[in-house]
Structure 1
């Protein structure tokens, strides 16, 4: 592991990776950017200036903050945001810039299943 990795720098490296190396669509990269900007702001408010200092407990706290947010996020939006954060941490762990993948065991909340609509007789 090499020194501290500021969240903003880590996010920019990740976004460059997904847009250039993985060739993801501009809309997908924009969604990652929005999700990770909110994550970076939350880390900043929590006083975390190094992605290496994020542990699973801190990620669970972020998950709770997403669930308690006003206006509330839909379960699908919470799941997408957590997926973005897990991808960020996994990328940096695989690149060797983070010693631990803090998001490896983080699971998104189960989405409620809806019953199918009944077909009318007509």
Structure 2
């Protein structure tokens, strides 16, 4: 299976243009499946059938794997055997009839406006690092971009004067406006801090780390955690929390769903609708507590 797996990973990279996260997840999941086959003394993929598949899913359920993990494994198996059937003359897809367990969609964690305000006030701009951190936090909340997009931004992706940034992911590009507060933070950072933080004057990196190199997602996560603790935010905040808060606060203040979808870069509007459902629940709660005839 090792050679087929290598071929499949190359296919995901070169043909499907899958994201790095998807490729790493599928590779990890399929390596676990290969270990399961070894334990079952299955030496050839042609011997894998629906019974084998069901036994593997049952094993994950018995070990109390998360529903989302099982669903991702099933997606990886379906994609892998579909590839084998199409491109490597494998007879049939034994994973074709596997059904992913239903995942109960939880409402995303969002911060209140007061919590966001406290968070954004933490980097006071007393040094270059705080100016950079302030600009990053303000920009993320102002635009709702993903952390991977934030740390990948270059100087050419941002137009402070016109008030927008350009994000590109997997061949898709979108333009997102920047609010006045974020623009002020960006101007201060670009004028005072960035020139001293980059390692090379020709560097296009917008937000470098201490070494003047591109910041990692994990690096920004640590920064966010530190400021959240200083702000007294007790919830388990992640970079995606700011993205969720951006969307929820826009809809709460009257933004239309389609515009929020475009800014977030969701390909399917149903993904964006979860924020609308959150807002509807909030409105019902307010109504039940305030209307005299509720």
TM surpasses 0.5: yes
Cα distance change, pair 113–25 in 1 and its aligned pair in 2 (3 A): closer
2:21 maps to 1:24: no
| In structure 2, distance between residues paired with 1:8 and 1:96 | 14
Aligned match for 1:100, one of 67, 92, 97 = 92
Per the TM alignment, residue 23 of structure 1 is displaced from its structure 2 partner at its CA by 1.4
Larger radius of gyration: 2
**What CA deviation, in whole Å up to 9, does each residue of 1:48-70 have, x standing for no partner?**
1111110011101111011112x
* Runs (5+) with no aligned partner, structure 1: 1-6
CA RMSD between the two structures: 2.0
Per the TM alignment, residue 96 of structure 1 is displaced from its structure 2 partner at its CA by 4.0
Per the TM alignment, residue 114 of structure 1 is displaced from its structure 2 partner at its CA by 5.9
| In structure 1, distance between residues paired with 2:23 and 2:38 | 22
TM-score with structure 1 setting the length: 0.82
Cα distance change, pair 32–113 in 1 and its aligned pair in 2 (3 A): closer
| In structure 2, distance between residues paired with 1:19 and 1:68 | 33
Ranges of 4+ aligned residues in structure 1 off by more than 2 Å? 110-122
Aligned counterpart, 1:91:
83
Aligned counterpart, 1:54:
48
TM-score with structure 2 setting the length: 0.36
2:28 maps to 1:37: no
How many residue pairs match? The answer is 114
* Runs (5+) with no aligned partner, structure 2: 108-276, 290-294
Cα distance change, pair 28–114 in 1 and its aligned pair in 2 (3 A): closer
Structure number with the bigger relative contact order (C-alpha 8 A, sep ≥ 6) is 1
| In structure 1, distance between residues paired with 2:18 and 2:77 | 17
Per the TM alignment, residue 105 of structure 1 is displaced from its structure 2 partner at its CA by 1.0
Does the 8 A contact of 1:56 with 1:103 survive in 2?
yes
**What CA deviation, in whole Å up to 9, does each residue of 1:30-57 have, x standing for no partner?**
0111111111111111111111110011
| In structure 2, distance between residues paired with 1:29 and 1:111 | 22
